[in-house]
Amino acid sequence: MEWLQQLINGISLGSIYALIALGYTMVYGIIKLINFAHGDVFMVGAFVGFYAVTSWQMGFFPALIIAMILCAILGVVIERLAYKRLRNSTRIAALITAIGVSLLIEYVTIYIRGAQPEAYPKDLVANKQFNLFGADISSQSLLILGVSITLMILLQFIVHKTKVGKAMRAVSHDAEAAKLMGINVDNTISATFAIGSALAGAAGVIFGLYYTKIDPLMGVIPGMKAFVAAVLGGIGSIPGAMTGGMILGVIETIVSAVGFSLWRDAAAFIILIIILIFRPAGIFGKNTREKV
């Protein structure tokens, strides 16, 4: 029953990618921006969680909440300082700015605390093994999966059942019409960045629990993989980001399990190439015409 074990491990890993991918897809859905600084917000979340656990002696869940709050604030600051002024500029200007913000966050982190990696305490949560249909499943994988799914359900509730969510959907559909209907577009965009960044912060803490080691450049590869997951599911689609993250995690785990662990990072980008060739809109995406 090793396939079941690998499947659960893959879904646990994929849920981390899905949480990061949600930030990409929400921001793109509202202002058509690929926020490449998002992977570094994820890194900041991992370090906030680490210091909350080691310096402030917090447990896993308080550290998770602190990381989400601080990353939400960071997301709003990034949007207000870096992206707000570029809202009516060319997409390439916003893209270059996003890359610049990404590098700024990485190297400010290195300047403040150094480039040395850190390790999450192994006893942060109890890690027991359960036998399920002949497969050994760790309680840690189940915890990661449970937390991720809870956050995704909470996001769906916010988007579909709250005023903020309705405003986000309205702005995504037509920002000018939403403004005429009395919706504060600037605040709605900031709320989108806050929610997406909070999910990335949670993913950072979960990643630290899963992999133990964290460092200031850790956001680059998971950030790119989460972008691939968002494209795979259909960028701009929230269910697509969730599905894409899960699929990517399962594929990576299978690639490692069959003996090609050195190719696991390459697998994500091979998938990206295939998707862009055969279905550029992604699994849940729709082809849209754009006037030029």
Q: Please, where are the H alpha helices in the chain? A: 2-31, 38-54, 60-78, 91-113, 139-161, 163-173, 175-180, 185-211, 220-233, 238-257, 264-278
Q: What does the chain come to in residues? A: 292
Task: Look up the domain containing 42 and give its range.
Answer: 9-120+139-218
CB 199 within 8 A of CB 22: yes
CB 135 within 8 A of CB 4: yes
Q: What is d(CA 94, CA 100) in angstroms, rounded to the nearest whole number?
A: 10
Helix, strand, or coil (residue 213): strand
Q: What is the pLDDT of residue 195?
A: 95
Q: Is the pTM of this model over 0.75?
A: yes
Q: What is the pLDDT of residues 7-62, one digit of tens each?
A: 888 888 899 999 999 999 999 888 888 888 999 999 999 999 999 999 988 889 99
Q: What is d(CA 52, CA 290) in angstroms, rounded to the nearest whole number?
A: 46
Q: Do the domain assignments include residue 4?
A: no
- Helices first, then strands: H and E counts in the chain: 11, 4
**pLDDT grade for 289, boundaries at 50, 70 and 90:** low
Q: Which residue has the higher pLDDT, 148 or 263?
A: 148
Q: What is the pLDDT of residue 203?
A: 94
Q: Do the domain assignments include residue 147?
A: yes
CB 41 within 8 A of CB 222: no
Q: Do the domain assignments include residue 116?
A: yes
Q: What is the pLDDT of residues 93-130, one digit of tens each?
A: 988 999 999 999 999 999 999 899 999 988 888 778 77
Q: Which residue has the higher pLDDT, 91 or 199?
A: 199
Domain count, the chain: 1
Residue with tokens 């998707």: 275
Q: What is d(CA 147, CA 192) in angstroms, rounded to the nearest whole number?
A: 20
Q: Do the domain assignments include residue 233?
A: no
Q: How far is CA 191 from CA 62, 72, 194, 203, in A?
A: 22, 9, 5, 18
CB 24 within 8 A of CB 34: yes
> 62: closest CA among 49, 72, 71, 74?
49
With a pLDDT cut of 70, the percent of the chain lying above it is 96
With a pLDDT cut of 90, the percent of the chain lying above it is 50
CB 210 within 8 A of CB 12: yes
Q: Do the domain assignments include residue 262?
A: no
Q: Do the domain assignments include residue 275?
A: no
Q: Do the domain assignments include residue 242?
A: no
Measured in whole angstroms, how far is the alpha carbon of residue 195 from the centre of its chain? Answer: 11
Q: Do the domain assignments include residue 61?
A: yes
DSSP H or E run through 102:
helix 91-113
Per-residue pLDDT, averaged over 234-245, amounts to: 88
Q: Which residue has the higher pLDDT, 285 or 111?
A: 111
**pLDDT grade for 1, boundaries at 50, 70 and 90:** low
Q: What is the pLDDT of residue 292?
A: 47
Q: What is the pLDDT of residues 135-182, one digit of tens each?
A: 777 788 888 889 999 999 999 999 999 999 999 999 988 888 999 888
Q: What is d(CA 184, CA 101) in angstroms, rounded to the nearest whole number?
A: 25
pLDDT, averaged across the chain: 88
